[in-house]
Amino acid sequence: MSFKAAFIGAGSIGFTRSLVRDLLAVPEFKDMSIALMDIDERNLEMIHCLLERDIKTNQLDEVGLSATTDQAAAVADAKYVFNVARVGGLEAFRTDIEIPLRYGIDQCVGDTLCAGGIMYGQRGIPMILELCDDIVEQADPECMLLNYANPNAMMTWAASHYGGVHTLGLCHGVQGGARQIAGAFGIPVEELDYICAGINHQTWYIQLLHRGQNLTGRLLAAMEANPELAKKEKVRIDMLRRFGYYSTESNGHLSEYLPWYRKRPEEIKDWISLDSWINGETGGYLRVCEEGRNWFENDFPNWMKEEPRKIVGGERSAEHGSYIVEGLETGRLYRGHFNVVNCGSIENLPDDAIVEVPGYVDGNGVSIPLVGELPLGCAAICQSSINVQRLAVEAAVHGDDNLLRQAMMLDPLTGAVCSPPEIWQLVDDMLIGQSTWLPQYDTAIAEAKKRRETDKRLPTREGYRGAARQKTKTIEEMAEDREAAKRNAGAADKAGFTGKKSG
């Protein structure tokens, strides 16, 4: 089957390499074409070299592989476009974490909601809309956009409502949570039948079955009885205890989407675990991303000396992307969970919101079933986040800093920590600090700079590192455990660090 897939932000080397390997493991895809695009020429060259070697070693001689810094050229005639870009890279990501910390907003990840996630969306949405323009003008008329970039719901919302491109938002949170639940019950994950629905990173396991037996009401006891989960997943288990259902996302992620668990610095450590960044460490994802980037840049020559990856039919990661393409191209049925415009699938959430729900893919396309109503408490949590997402998307599309400030005020954690005047000043600081990547806010940025010069500033906590910050490891420290450093370098760049810079 000859078709073209393009990867935008392909300099997210480990993740791009894994997704490409997944595609090439499908036997029918041995003559497909792959276009890699990134604005970082060095990262682009590195991923091109690694994939070229993988393809050659596996004797996939009919696979076409190209690399370019031209986005329009990359998507030309493409039937599938994967967006894995992070606009602004680590430089912008650092401000997502550091500036809010001055106001006492302590984030673990900062890529979905809260102050960091909202600003991440302000940078990414102009980029994905430019990508949609290129797809409409250059790609195959039936092209599908597979968005892996965060904040996933906001990015998918903008592309779906303003980009004019058929878009699916993809994430692996549902699969990860299912493995965790199966482990708590001591059953193989393949035997766990579940319905999971909500919004990205706040999706709820509303039904759990094992061989016809309903396990949903027994999950809390199973989680509490597991010493490892009881230590690492305190926020998720507390939410399960109080709302009755388990949420997909990690302890660190979930803790910053809610107003209760990170608002008082002296209490944050009661709700997290520092054995892994993902369990709640202050700025944990930023730290491992910085470590991963530094290690990869230092260690890349050794990656090229290693044995190329084997691409064996059927051996793939759990990421949805290749299975969706396989279903559409071959007709094989695939069931996953996708981020789509609601259109009534979840009856007690807005029709225009982006929801994460079960979906089926085959030669007829993507089919989304009716889920019905979420449990009332779960729906209320999702609705709070949807309000923020809606305001943030409209702000980014129209360059409306008043809507941006309202999104920050309604954000659960930001609103729990900061007063309205503090939020207004925080937004000024974020606009100024990220001005390089926010062309839609030129006027608002100029006004923010003027206020900084003329108005009396509210006090901030300069130099505050948060309640649970860990030291970033040096190359020498990481070299003491090379395998761990390599795994970190491959995993940390899941979101991409180099996508297209707007403006």
- C-beta of residue 36 within 8 angstroms of C-beta of residue 44: yes
CA proximity to 197, closest of 342, 371, 383: 371
User: Token pair for residue 324?
Assistant: 């969706």
Q: Using alpha carbons only, what angle is made at residue 468 by residues 422 and 260, rounded to the nearest 5 degrees?
A: 55
Element (H, E) at 168: strand 166-169
Q: Tell me, yes or no, if 337 is annotated catalytic.
A: no
Q: From CA 356, how far away is CA 146, in angstroms rounded?
A: 14
DSSP annotation of 281: -
Tokens found for residue 69: 């810094």
- Rounded Cα distance between 71 and 35, Å, is 10
CA distances from 163 to 66, 120, 318, 403, 407 (A): 26, 18, 28, 20, 22
Three-class SS state of 68: strand
441 carries an active-site annotation: no
Nearest residue to 361 via CA among 387, 395, 338: 338
Q: Which residues contact 346 (CB under 8 A, 6 or more apart)?
A: 197, 198, 355, 357, 371, 372, 373, 374, 379
Structure tokens at 326: 């396989």
Pairing of strands 365-367, 33-37: unpaired
Catalytic residue among 161, 162, 166, 172: 172
Spot the catalytic one: 246, 257, 323, 334.
257
DSSP secondary structure, 402-417, as one string: HHHHHHHHHSHHHHHH
Point out which residues pair with 334 in neighbouring strands.
361
Task: Kindly state the tokens that stand for 188.
Answer: 């193989």
Q: Looking at the chain, how many residues does it have?
A: 503
Known catalytic residues? 172, 257
